[in-house]
């Protein structure tokens, strides 16, 4: 073997060794990497992109869905369920928009970013469980439903606060409430049916969205602050979605129905109590 053949042989061996080096990340590691990236982007968004907050929030929401697909692509590509991407998109959108409403204090931003990271990681895990559960039976499905429902309610509260803080016309406010109510209701119902179709229960979602649309239209004229009205809308959304889940599970008994009725009554009287002209 001459000098040229020896060099060529050694280069080929090294090249083969390099090809064997493969960084194989687990699913949880991908989730952690995705959460860290999104949390860092959310944290720096207020100080660097103040004037273009809406575009940053929209881009962060799209990136959330892309990272979810990257972290869980092995299960998603075999069983693509399009409702899977609704809640991650709206969750990041809600936090990113709400981020610009809070005081620009370092501690407040740290706490909200930490809350976003915990919620995002929990949501990624629950979405992964839903993807697997649509193929085979899994024991953690009940826990995933609870986590997803809680995150959905928080997302609804933040989106309602942001929309009502716009102080726009009543028609625009009611339409925006209708849109994100329809999307969140569609996802929340899907977690109990796990259908592959995007709008398999669109009639049910449409009915709940129309109810919240009408409530938002009327409550816009109420002499109260946006945060209190957002809590009022979120309470009614919580009750309607909870009743829907009980109906799907065939557990809507008389006692459960009265619990949600009392909840809506408490929310309504809380609004009356803290309204300035009613005090």
Collapse the DSSP code of 1 into the 3-class scheme (helix H, G, I; strand E, B; otherwise coil) and give the result. Answer: coil
pLDDT at 21: 45
Q: d(Cα 231, Cα 161) in Å, to the nearest integer?
A: 8
pLDDT for the residue numbered 141: 86
Chain centroid to Cα 192, Å, comes to 16
Measured distance CA(120)–CA(95) in Å, rounded: 10
**Distance from C-alpha of 241 to C-alpha of 183, rounded to nearest angstrom:** 12
Tell me the DSSP string of 179-194: HHHHHHHHHHHHHHH-
- Provide the whole-model pTM: 0.86
The CA–CA distances, whole Å, from 160 to 46, 96, 127 equal 20, 13, 23
Q: Is 116 exposed, middle or buried (0-12, 13-18, 19+ CB in 10 A)?
A: buried
pLDDT score at 124: 93
What DSSP element (H or E) covers 37?
helix 27-48
Cβ atoms of residues 93 and 57 within 8 Å: yes
Tell me what pLDDT residue 198 has: 63
Residue matched to tokens 């370092």: 106
User: Rounded to whole angstroms, how far apart are CA atoms 212 and 177?
Assistant: 7
Q: What's the CA gap between 88 and 71, in Å, rounded? A: 13
pLDDT value at residue 114 = 92
Q: What was the pLDDT predicted at 222?
A: 81
Q: Nearest 5 degrees, angle CA 148-CA 151-CA 152?
A: 85
In tens digits, the chain (279 residues) has pLDDT values of 555 445 444 545 455 444 444 467 788 889 999 999 999 998 887 666 666 777 888 999 999 999 999 988 877 777 667 788 999 999 999 999 888 887 778 888 889 899 999 999 999 999 988 888 767 777 788 888 999 999 999 999 999 999 998 888 889 999 999 999 999 999 999 888 887 666 667 788 899 999 999 999 888 888 878 888 999 999 999 999 998 888 888 887 888 888 888 988 888 888 888 877 644
């Amino acid at each position: 073997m001459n000098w040229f053949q020896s060099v060529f042989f050694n280069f080929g061996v090294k090249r083969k060794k390099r090809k064997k080096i493969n960084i194989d990340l687990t699913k949880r590691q991908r989730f952690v990497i995705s959460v860290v990236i999104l949390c860092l982007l959310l944290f720096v968004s207020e100080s660097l992109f103040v004037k273009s907050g809406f575009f940053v929030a929209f881009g962060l929401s799209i990136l959330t869905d892309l990272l979810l697909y990257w972290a869980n692509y092995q299960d998603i590509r075999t069983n693509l369920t399009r409702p899977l991407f609704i809640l991650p998109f709206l969750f990041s959108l809600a936090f990113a928009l709400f981020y610009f409403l809070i005081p620009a204090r370092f501690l407040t931003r740290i706490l909200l970013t930490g809350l976003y990271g915990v919620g995002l990681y929990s949501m990624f895990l629950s979405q992964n469980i839903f993807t697997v559960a649509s193929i085979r039976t899994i024991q953690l499905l009940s826990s995933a439903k609870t986590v997803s429902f809680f995150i959905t309610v928080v997302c609804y509260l933040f989106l309602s606060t942001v929309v009502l803080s716009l102080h726009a016309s009543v028609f625009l406010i009611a339409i925006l409430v209708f849109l994100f109510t329809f999307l969140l209701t569609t996802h929340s119902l899907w977690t109990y049916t796990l259908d592959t179709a995007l709008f398999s229960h669109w009639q049910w979602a449409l009915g709940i969205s129309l109810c919240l649309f009408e409530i938002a239209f009327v409550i816009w004229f109420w002499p109260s602050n946006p945060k209190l009205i957002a809590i009022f809308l979120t309470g009614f959304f919580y009750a309607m979605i909870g009743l829907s889940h009980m109906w799907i599970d065939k557990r809507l008994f008389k006692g459960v129905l009265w619990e949600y009725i009392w909840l809506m009554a408490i929310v309504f009287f809380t609004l009356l109590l803290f309204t300035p002209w009613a005090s």
